């Protein structure tokens, strides 16, 4: 079971209406004893409607339960398994200069990353439940596997920001013509580099490579994060900017919940009083939260209803 929280709960919240924000003293940081939260307090904030504008930040850790490796887990992460591509260093596979020099490694990896048959998992369905209950302000994902957008997960495009792009569309690196993702997929599956039918330039899926501009929708964060009244951060190392810094963009009085195998980013080196860390398996942590919310049955019904629908 996940090691729940780092902060003991000094406050009993049962039965009393939680103020929208913790008393100023608690919100001022500096580690005052009062105002430290536990997972059950986060459940209380959601359950009582004290928090209704939830922003979720997700990383590759929410897709590992669906069988898609993450990037940096030692041994199992993608970056530990790229020897066959003789890259100068692992991240080169997502760098434009290397891609223009040799696109083959990226397309070979793309076959693994754009799963045809992987399905959303309980984490995707939890986020869907937040949406169904009118609580999800936005989901910011770093993942390019597209599991959040699969109809079975049912998270509408309006609520989704794919910060590092996706395979849904592709662009010719020469004439910049845009193509639907599935148009190039047959070539990729055959192990060929897809070429533009107009100018024969290499067509690259609209995945954001290191150094490339972020998609327009990413800048919704300018409005979303100041408005958020709860931030959930699930399955990410918080290593890659500018995505990682978003977690500091919510107001100091807003609780932040990290569910991850390690304590990462500012949760490790500059925690806030209202931070809650559930360190351990992300599925277990989310299931514990669902239990505390009393949503277990609803979640099971949703999974039963939707699981058969998974399709790209
Ligand atoms: N339970 C809990 N934590 C998990 C689980 C799990 N089942 N699986 C993985 N994790 C954790 C890992 O321990 C790690 O801390 O999720 C985190 C995943 O981190 P990364 O592999 O670095 O993935 P991510 O944070 O999404 O990477 C960000 O880096 O290379 C770029 O563009 C790429 O979007 C990617 C970005
Ligand atoms: Zn072209």
User: 72-84: per-residue pLDDT in tens?
Assistant: 999 999 889 888 8
Give nearest CA residue, ligand 1 atom 36. 240
- Summarize the confidence of residues 238-257 as an average pLDDT: 97
In which band, very low, low, confident or very high, does the pLDDT at 308 lie, cut at 50, 70 and 90? low
Return all residues near 285 (Cβ < 8 A) that are at least 6 apart.
2, 4, 39, 259, 278
Reported as type and span, the H/E element at residue 165 is: strand 165-172
pLDDT tens digits, 259-306:
999 999 999 999 999 999 999 999 999 999 999 999 999 999 999 988
Q: Which long-range contacts (CB under 8 A, 24 or more apart) does 140-143 make?
A: 140/55, 140/56, 140/57, 140/58, 140/218, 140/221, 140/224, 140/243, 140/246, 141/57, 141/58, 141/59, 141/62, 142/58, 142/59, 142/60, 142/236, 142/240, 142/243, 143/58, 143/59, 143/60, 143/62, 143/63
**pLDDT, position 282:** 98
Locate the ligand 1 atom nearest the alpha carbon of residue 208 and give its number. Answer: 32
**In the predicted structure, residue 172 carries a pLDDT above the cut 50:** yes
Give nearest CA residue, ligand 1 atom 9. 61
Q: Could you tell me the pTM of the whole model?
A: 0.88
**pLDDT, position 116:** 72
- Of the two residues 251 and 1, the one the predictor is more confident about is 251
Cis check: omega of the bond before 53, within 30 degrees of 0:
no
**In the predicted structure, residue 151 carries a pLDDT above the cut 80:** no
Concatenating the DSSP letter of every residue in 240-269 gives STTTGGGGGSS-TTS-EEEEESS--THHHH
Q: Is 265 in the pocket of ligand 1 (CB under 6 A)?
A: no
Q: Is 277 in the pocket of ligand 1 (CB under 6 A)?
A: no
**pLDDT, position 140:** 98
**pLDDT, position 21:** 39
Q: Is 40 in the pocket of ligand 1 (CB under 6 A)?
A: no
**pLDDT, position 31:** 36
In which band, very low, low, confident or very high, does the pLDDT at 11 lie, cut at 50, 70 and 90? very low
Share of the chain above pLDDT 90, in %: 75
Share of the chain above pLDDT 70, in %: 87
pLDDT tens digits, 106-124:
999 898 777 677 889 999 9
pLDDT tens digits, 24-63:
333 333 333 455 899 999 999 999 999 999 999 999 999 9
**pLDDT, position 309:** 62
Average pLDDT, the chain: 87
**pLDDT, position 312:** 43
Residues with a catalytic annotation lie at 164
**In the predicted structure, residue 70 carries a pLDDT above the cut 60:** yes
Residue 196 annotated in ligand binding: yes
Q: Which ligand lies nearest the alpha carbon of 175?
A: 2
């Amino acid at each position: 079971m996940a090691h729940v929280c780092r902060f003991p709960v000094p406050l009993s919240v049962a039965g009393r209406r939680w103020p929208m924000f913790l008393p100023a003293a608690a919100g001022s940081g500096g580690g005052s004893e009062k105002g430290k939260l536990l997972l059950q307090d986060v459940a209380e904030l959601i359950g009582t409607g004290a928090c209704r504008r939830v922003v979720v930040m997700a990383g590759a850790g929410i897709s590992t339960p669906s069988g898609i490796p993450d990037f940096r887990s030692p041994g199992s992460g993608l970056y530990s398994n790229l020897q066959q591509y003789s890259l100068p260093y692992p991240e080169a596979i997502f760098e434009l200069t290397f891609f223009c020099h040799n696109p083959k490694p990226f397309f070979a990896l793309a076959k693994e990353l754009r799963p045809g048959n992987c399905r959303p998992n309980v984490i995707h369905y939890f986020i869907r439940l937040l949406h169904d209950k009118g609580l999800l302000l936005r989901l910011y994902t770093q993942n390019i596997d597209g599991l959040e957008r699969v109809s079975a997960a049912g998270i509408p495009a309006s609520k989704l920001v794919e910060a590092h792009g996706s395979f849904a569309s592709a662009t010719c690196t020469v004439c910049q013509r845009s193509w639907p993702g599935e148009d190039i997929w047959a070539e990729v599956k055959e192990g060929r580099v897809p070429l533009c039918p107009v100018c024969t330039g290499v067509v690259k899926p609209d995945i954001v490579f290191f150094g490339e501009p972020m998609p327009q929708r990413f800048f919704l964060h300018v409005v979303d994060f100041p408005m958020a009244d709860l931030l959930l951060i699930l399955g990410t190392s918080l290593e890659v900017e500018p995505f990682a810094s978003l977690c500091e963009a919510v107001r100091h009085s807003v609780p932040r919940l990290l569910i991850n195998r390690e304590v990462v980013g500012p949760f490790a080196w500059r925690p806030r009083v209202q931070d809650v860390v559930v360190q351990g398996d992300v599925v277990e942590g989310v299931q514990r939260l669902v239990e505390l919310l009393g949503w277990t049955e609803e979640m099971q019904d949703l999974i039963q209803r939707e699981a058969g629908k998974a399709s790209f």
